[in-house]
Structures are given as C-alpha cells and as structure tokens.
A and B are shown apart, each in its own frame.
Chain A
Amino acid sequence: MSAFLTVVRPGLFATIQDLGRFGFQELGMPVAGALDPVALRLANALVGNPQGMAGLEIALLGPVLRVDAASVRIAAVGPLAMTLEREGEASRPLEPHRSHSLRQGDLLRLGAVDGASVAYLAVAGGFALAPVMGSLSTYVRAGIGPLGGRPLGQDDRLPLVRDSAPIGPPDEQELELPQPPEYGVGPLRVVLGPQDDRFTEQALATFLSARYHVGKQADRMGLRLEGPALKHRGSADIPSDGLVTGSIQVPGNGQPILLLNDHQTAGGYAKIATVISADLPRAGRLRPGDRLSFQAVTVDEAEAIRRRQEQAISGWIRAIRPVRPAGGIDLEALYAENLISGTVDIVNGGSDLPLV
C-alpha cells in the first residue's frame, strides 16, 4: 500500500529541505537546505532517522496534513503550534520536541511559527521523493528540488518511505528531547574577510560595535540589515567571487546583507565578514525586526566553537529519552537530567567564549 501525507491546506511557506545541495555550485546552483540545520537534525533523531534526512521546513504558518497511511511517526523541533484532529476525539495540541504517532485519517494542523523564522517536521523513514542533483533541498527561485522545486501546494501528496510505524499504547514508545536546543545569546560571531581590507578602519569598528536589525527584505536568500552605514575604501565592487552561507556583503549603500542558504553562488560586492558555521542556525532563525550585533573571532576559535557545538548536539541526541508517563516522579528522567547538565558543563568548560 502506498502511504502519503496529503496537503489539505498548504500553509504559507513550507518546503522540503535537507542539509543542502553541495557539489554543483560551479554550475551556479545554490546550496539551499535547512536554515536551521540543528532543528532538522534533532527532529530526525526524534523519529530515528539519520540526522541529514530531508524534512519539512515550515515558515510563518504551517500546512494541514492528512495521514493517508496506516500510521506514521512524526516529530517537530522549533517554535511550532500543532494540533491533532482524530475522528471521534476532541482535538488536542501536540508538543514539539517529542515524537507522536499518527493514524490513518488523522489531521495534523501545523500552526504559527512564532519566536523564530522556521521550525521543522520530520517523519520516520523520510519522504519517498527523488533527489535532484543528489539532494532533496528545495530552491524555490529556480524551481529546483522535489515537488517541482516549489513550496507545498494544495492537494500535494508527500509519499512516505514507510507505510506504517508500530503503534503501541499511548506515549509508550514516544521519544522526547529533555529540553529544546539552545542557540546561545549575544553577538553573532564572525571571521573578518574575505574583503575586510576593502573597508575603512572606522567601518570595521562600527560593524563590530553597532547594533543592526533585520529589515523587511528577509527570506531564504538573505537578510538585509539596517543600521549604521559601512564605508568602503574606494568602490564596493570586486570581481565576482564565491559566496558562502553567512557571507556578509556590503553594497554601495553601506547596509550589510547577511546571506543565507539560497544565496547566489558568486557575487560582486565586497564582503566584510562571514558568520561562523556554529552561529548559522541562529542566523537562519532571525526574523524581520530582530536585533543583532557582531563579534570577531579567529578561524581557530570558530573551529573550536563548532567542535563544541557538535559535541553539544551529540549530547542532546544522547539525552533523547522515552516520554515520561504523566504524574509521579520519574527517577530515570531525573537521572537523565543530571547527565545532560554534565554534558553541558563539559561543553562549555575551559573557554571564556560565549556559549553556542
């Protein structure tokens, strides 16, 4: 029997994304992929998938999905409101950061994403969709990826690899993250360059001390930042060179643009700095109006921060545990809680750098 999630209502902007389409940038193909890869990885871990499997990235307002499969296990990570409507039962909210088992005919209403730009839904076993150039990421601007490279539409059917997941007594086999992932606070950390020498000393000092906010033009391609203008030494133009997610380019008007996953592969504006990889999930979660500032670190520091972040993510995944039964004291859970604190201490030990 074939199994689907059927899109009853598409929501505002839900796309299939994995960790990106690498290997084709030399053809001008943007990488795309999850804006918040940490959340996608954790959602996959909650349903037993490999961390990099494609899931649904949900921005603004999520879709309504009907389960046209014997059963399916799902998990969401991120600030997403969800409601389950099941025949013969009162509709009830579903918590993110844990798995849920859904049955044939269930309606899963994914509501508003509030508190970050995106949240993720993973399904156990993943979607049975054909990769495009090795990836299930969706690049909407050129219509590249699964579903014709577009966001979810009315009546789309998302085929599932598995047509059923075992269903036991309620909550028996469900898994949860003891706590939502931490993204850290404080300035976004950057490595200066590749063209920091194209800016005045004053511009560099301003960039590293001023507060910016995310302007209205913010999408998967990038965030236009608003704040003090950054002056170039001479022209803002360079011979076009390669871009990465996190590149901060500054056109002639001096207002920086922080490039995200759908960025062009090359560009001709001088780039003052690059957000470090460990802070890209935070950058990807930013929304219009959010405030931010920048702090410079070295490449060595950036690498150390990223290693600690990977350890932290591994720690969160190891801490995934069966959902606690309602009521009563769960000694096992308390024990797990201590383990997690221990992990976090180790992660942050021996450094005066801001936490990941």
Chain B
Amino acid sequence: MKIRFTTAGDTAFNVEFGEAIDRATNARVMALHARLKAEPPAGLVETVPTFRSLLVVYDPVATGRGEMQAAVEAALAGSDAAASEGRLWRLPVCYDPDLGPDLAELAGGLGLTTERVAELHGSAEYFVYMLGFMPGFGYMGDLPAELERPRRTEPRVRVPAGSVAVAGRLTTVYPWESPGGWHLIGRCPVPLYDSGRADPVLLAAGDRVRFETVDRAAFDGIAQAVAAGRFDPASLRTAS
C-alpha cells in the first residue's frame, strides 16, 4: 500500500503504512521508527510506533510540517532495512481459575476446555506490536485463531495488575490495576512496570514474548521474590 501522511495538528503527523494489523506492515513502522531514532531530524521530539502507523511528534517552533515531512520522506527513501529483531521474553503465567476469572466463560464460548485454552495460549510466540493504553501495556499478537473472541461487552472497573488477558487476536499483561475489557485468563507474577527498575517498562515494541505455564507454588514463589526485590527480570530474557 502507498504510504499515507495524516495530520495531527501542528505538532505531529502519522505515517500510515496500511490499514491492517499484521507483521509486515508493523515491520515497516518499526524500521522507520528505528531510523528516525538513530538519525533524528532537527526539531523531532519523538516517534511513537503503533500497529500500522508511526506518529512523528515535532516542535513547531523549531521546525515545521513541510520540513519535517521532507526529512521523514528522505528517511523512508534512504532505507527499507528491517528494524533489528527484538528481545525474546519468557513470561511465567499461572492459569488457575481464581487468577483467570474469565477462563471458564471464554472456554465455554469457544467450545474448548479451560486446559485447551491455556495450552493454546501458551503455545504461540507473540510479537509486541505496540505499547499504549497505559505505561508498559503491550499489544501482542497474533493469538491462535481458535481463541479469537471480541472484548467483553461489559468492561471490568478493576482488573488486577499482572492479569494475562486476550481480546480479538491479541493478548496482553496488565501492568497496572485499571479498568479493562479484555478476558482475564491468568496472572503473571512479574510486574511489567516497576518504578524501582532502571528501565521501569519491561517490554518494548518489537519484542517477542512466550508464556510459560507455572503452577501455583511457582507463581507464589516468584511473586514473593519480586516483593522481596530478589527477582531479576533479565532472567526472563532469552538470548536470541
């Protein structure tokens, strides 16, 4: 698809690479993001990658739309090299019913057993398309087609932090307690946002994630280690 520029006022514009949520489109977003980050044009404030577009934020006092769009077009022409491959994380998840209160209902709606839902969810490698909604909230895909369901019709007012959830062809781990409309199927004991860490946000757009099923004892053990400050999230990262 032809690249499209859409306007977000006099401080930003979107570079749209398509309409669909897919890896190929997102790879182009991430490639431009990486390139502008490596060689930022004068007046660039930051770039924000999303599923199929890159938001280019600039300082309208230091530069202007014409100048900034020209710089972005030059960056697009310069290289189509893929962004470097993201990190691979292995996130522990416990699918016990009290930690995944929607698991049974979701499984019923899909005509699957709860065990099969957990098995399918844990079988795929997910790609972090983007972060948003709240600090550290990753939109990860693609969920196996057998698990696809629209969001809950009635969003929850309070979703506990660490909840592992699915909606559409996406999955996530809630970094904070917050309202939310996704189906909660388990819980991850490792916080995806921790202000005590040098890098408080665990995931980055472009990273990959695998979920590893843990039982309740292992879940509790990790949760205790996290609470005591004895858990190093780098141990979840696999050299790739």
Closest-CB distance, A32 to chain B (whole angstroms): 11
**B7 engages A299 (CB within 8 Å):** yes
Bitwise, A85-96 to B at CB < 8 A (1) or not (0) is 000000000000
Enumerate chain A residues within 8 angstroms of B64, measured Cβ to Cβ: 303
A352 within 8 A of B: no
Those of B119-161 within 8 Å (CB) of chain A: 130-137, 139
Enumerate chain B residues within 8 angstroms of A29, measured Cβ to Cβ: 135, 201
A35 within 8 A of B: no
**In the complex with contacts A22-B57, A27-B204, A266-B48, A277-B10 CB distance below 8 A:** yes
**B12 engages A242 (CB within 8 Å):** yes
Bitwise, B38-59 to A at CB < 8 A (1) or not (0) is 0000000111111111110100
Enumerate chain A residues within 8 angstroms of B31, measured Cβ to Cβ: none
The DSSP consensus for interface residues of chain A is: mixed
**In the complex with contacts A29-B201, A244-B57, A277-B60, A194-B7 CB distance below 8 A:** yes
**In the complex with contacts A27-B136, A28-B132, A244-B65 CB distance below 8 A:** no
Enumerate chain B residues within 8 angstroms of A266, measured Cβ to Cβ: 48, 50, 130, 132-133
Those of A167-196 within 8 Å (CB) of chain B: 190-195
Q: Which of B21, B55, B201 contacts A242 (CB 8 A)?
A: B55
B77 within 8 A of A: no
Those of A250-287 within 8 Å (CB) of chain B: 264-267, 271, 274-277
B171 within 8 A of A: no
**B6 engages A194 (CB within 8 Å):** yes
Closest-CB distance, A129 to chain B (whole angstroms): 15
Closest-CB distance, A207 to chain B (whole angstroms): 15
Enumerate chain B residues within 8 angstroms of A264, measured Cβ to Cβ: 132-134
Q: How many residues of A contact B (CB 8 A)?
A: 44
**B134 engages A275 (CB within 8 Å):** no
Enumerate chain A residues within 8 angstroms of B11, measured Cβ to Cβ: 244, 246, 277
**B10 engages A306 (CB within 8 Å):** yes
Those of B62-82 within 8 Å (CB) of chain A: 64-65
Q: Which of A142, A194, A299 contacts B14 (CB 8 A)?
A: A194
**Smallest CB gap from B205: residue in A:** A26
**A28 engages B134 (CB within 8 Å):** yes
**In the complex with contacts A22-B57, A303-B64, A240-B8 CB distance below 8 A:** no
**In the complex with contacts A26-B204, A239-B21, A191-B46 CB distance below 8 A:** no
**A141 engages B134 (CB within 8 Å):** yes
**Smallest CB gap from B206: residue in A:** A26
B9 within 8 A of A: yes
**Smallest CB gap from A143: residue in B:** B195
Closest-CB distance, B109 to chain A (whole angstroms): 21
Interchain Cβ contacts under 8 Å between A and B, 11 examples: A26-B33, A194-B14, A239-B20, A241-B52, A242-B55, A244-B55, A246-B9, A265-B48, A277-B11, A302-B10, A306-B60
Report, nearest first, the 3 A-B pairs whose CB atoms are least far apart: A242-B55, A274-B9, A266-B132
Chain A contacts to B: CB under 8 angstroms: 22-30, 132, 141-144, 190-195, 239-244, 246-247, 264-267, 271, 274-277, 299-300, 302-303, 306-307, 310
